[in-house]
Structure 1
Amino acid sequence: MSVFFQLAVTCFLALAVCAGAVSYFRTVRAARPPVGVFNGRDIFVIMGFVLALPYVYLALPGGVLPVVLALVFAGGLSVGYQPLIGNGRLRWALIAALIASVYVSHTAFGEAAPPYWVANSCVVVLVVISATNLNVQGGMRLSNVAWFLLALTVYDAFFAWVVPLTEELAEAVQGYPYAPAAGLRVGDDLGAVVGMGDLLAYALFTTCAYKAYGKVGLRVGLVLVTVFGAVAPVVVLKVITEMLGHEPALIPAQVVFGPAAFLGYRYLRRRGPERRMADVLLPRDRAAAPLATAG
């Protein structure tokens, strides 16, 4: 029963962030920062940030870590949803309500209760959708994402199996609200949690694939996310548990998804060059195009 619960929750969250990110991409234009075109050098910058962030979190006193995470969540929500909610006071009021709901549910019900995980997951999913579009609409290409995920595969494997940094970070946030993860826990037996970084990887790849190759890219992205992002890590964990007689401490999802996503990029690349942001029109832009041409 627990395996089916994990599969259901993991698939739902993985597909939810992908659907949300692509829907945002299709209907909203995020403000693009004046940083030029995204290129391969930026991969090293992002990877450096990814490498440093866990150490920063672990260096913080326990009581400070949830405050920092709450501020990160609030900042991501504010920037990403400014095009949707132009009124600053209303936007910040809604953000404050979302952030407060996580704290209140954690205080009232505890970190293992469904209300807390539902509230925290909603915030995390919305932040991932925001971060995805800020990057993809800011110029990130599918090739950038593919190489980044391949590097992330090596990173996650090393810090899960050689240096247990990922496990230490997971233990550091236990007992506090604002976990950098989404999921659901029901009682002591049923639980499924997906890291925020994994959700961001799924959303980035799917949204970039859609931007680059349209509906074909979207289908490839959704299939890879479902099979290798959501299902395969749970199945691999179950198989290894049966073989060893005990559950391993951690099986990073990117070890399975990263290589599959890279192969998916290589497959899509055969269809030709990627589309740019300038080649992707909003529905209202398409409707206005004939009028503009006629004029």
Structure 2
Amino acid sequence: MNAIPLVALSCCVALLMAAAGGYLVRVRMPRPPVGVYTSGDIAVLCVGVVLAPLLYLKLPGVVVSALFGLVLCLAVQFTLAPVCSGRWAWGLALVAAGATAACSGHPVAVRACTDVMLAVAVVGVANLWTQSGMRSAHAAGLAAVLSCYDLVATTLTQVTANFVTQVQGRPFAPMLVLTGGSPPVAVGLGDLLLLVLFPLVAAKAFGRTAALLAAAVGVVVTSAVSALFALGALTAGFPLLTVLGPLIVLQHVLWSRRLGGERTTARWRSGTDSPTPRPDRLQPDPALTSALSLTPPTGLAPGTWIAIADGQILGTGNSPGLARRAARQRGTDTLPIVRQL
């Protein structure tokens, strides 16, 4: 296989990562009213990704192209909306979709127009997920599930091969395609989205160094697979996520353990460098520690409640309320800590 398109594919992946990173730094997307990401949201997303190709294989190719065209048009619009006005964003998205559909029958033009729309959509979707609060743990979980699915769909079954055959050459195909042929020099939408997404999530969760490492790992994996195709060691579709997914999980685990957690979106927006400490690393309250370690005087019956403030026992009683009341009667302005003997 010609090495030039393969090198160009790795360069395109790197450029998309850089574009997405620049978008993350300079553009703040409006947060959709969906709350925060949970494990259930990631599970639903994984189910959708797994079932979508199976559904599309049951539909006519024209219908599949129309569905992907609608999705790409919407993605291009919400990606461009924060950059220009909403009307301009809609206009550009509709023009791009119309031009892509009009090029049907001209393979090179279809690939070029679809690639541009796909690149803009991936930048927007990755930023939307990142800026909406997707955590590194969520991205790692998504990568783990999709790596297993990619292995099954691409290597153990013909799902991916049949899907590529169905959409190849059509407008709005969910692949970044540089050349035709069998196999084409291309990277699938799911692979491309995770390649671009994880460096953004790593930047938010762990900082610039983690983001650069994630981007470098993605480019190296893409380049290594391209080199295997150039050398003839690979001749059919390769499940890229089976390599990339475990590396994403490994990076998440290493950075989480090294930094003690990951930054929340709020801490990232405020410019806070340190991540939110994990519960097992929170420091105990000194006042509570002092109250628990205080040795009570002799003579108090077991079961008595004592109210402690400023390192002293200020009140006692047969219930927490009576102990606090006794402390207030002594004129303390500090809210006492109550414990039972």
What is the TM-score of this pair, normalised by structure 2? 0.73
Q: Distance in 2 between matches of 1:233 and 1:45?
A: 30
- Conserved 8 A contact 1:30-1:137: yes
What's the Cα RMSD here? Answer: 2.2
- Aligned counterpart, 1:27: 26
Helix, strand or coil for the counterpart of 1:194? strand
- Is 1:276 the equivalent of 2:264? yes
Q: Distance in 2 between matches of 1:40 and 1:27?
A: 29
The answer for unaligned runs of 5 or more in structure 2 is 272-341
Q: 1:92 is matched by which residue type in structure 2?
A: W
Aligned residue runs from structure 1 range 165-176, under 5 A = 165-176=159-170
- Aligned counterpart, 1:119: 113
Deviation at 1:175, TM superposition (A): 3.9
- Conserved 8 A contact 2:74-2:93: no
Q: 1:268 is matched by which residue type in structure 2?
A: W
- Conserved 8 A contact 1:143-1:265: yes
Identity, in percent, stands at 27
Deviation at 1:80, TM superposition (A): 2.7
What is the TM-score of this pair, normalised by structure 1? 0.84
Q: 2:140 is matched by which residue type in structure 1?
A: A
Q: 1:277 is matched by which residue type in structure 2?
A: T
- Is 1:234 the equivalent of 2:226? yes
- Is 1:180 the equivalent of 2:174? yes
- Conserved 8 A contact 2:110-2:169: no
- Aligned counterpart, 1:193: 186
Deviation at 1:237, TM superposition (A): 4.1
Q: 1:216 is matched by which residue type in structure 2?
A: T
Deviation at 1:225, TM superposition (A): 0.9
Q: Distance in 2 between matches of 1:87 and 1:248?
A: 45
- Conserved 8 A contact 1:225-1:257: yes
Helix, strand or coil for the counterpart of 1:38? coil
Q: Distance in 1 between matches of 2:148 and 2:172?
A: 27
- Structure possessing the higher relative contact order (Cα contacts under 8 Å, 6 or more residues apart): 1
- Aligned counterpart, 2:290: none
Task: Looking at secondary structure, tell me which structure has more helix per residue.
Answer: 1
Q: Distance in 1 between matches of 2:79 and 2:265?
A: 17
- Aligned counterpart, 2:126: 132
Aligned residue runs from structure 1 range 82-101, under 5 A = 82-88=81-87, 90-101=88-99
Q: 2:214 aligns with which of 205, 217, 221?
A: 221
Q: Higher Cα Rg: structure 1 or 2?
A: 2
- Is 1:44 the equivalent of 2:80? no
- Conserved 8 A contact 1:13-1:182: no
Q: Distance in 1 between matches of 2:169 and 2:177?
A: 16
Aligned residues: 270
Distance verdict in 2 for CA 1:282–1:16, change over 3 Å: farther
The answer for unaligned runs of 5 or more in structure 1 is 284-295
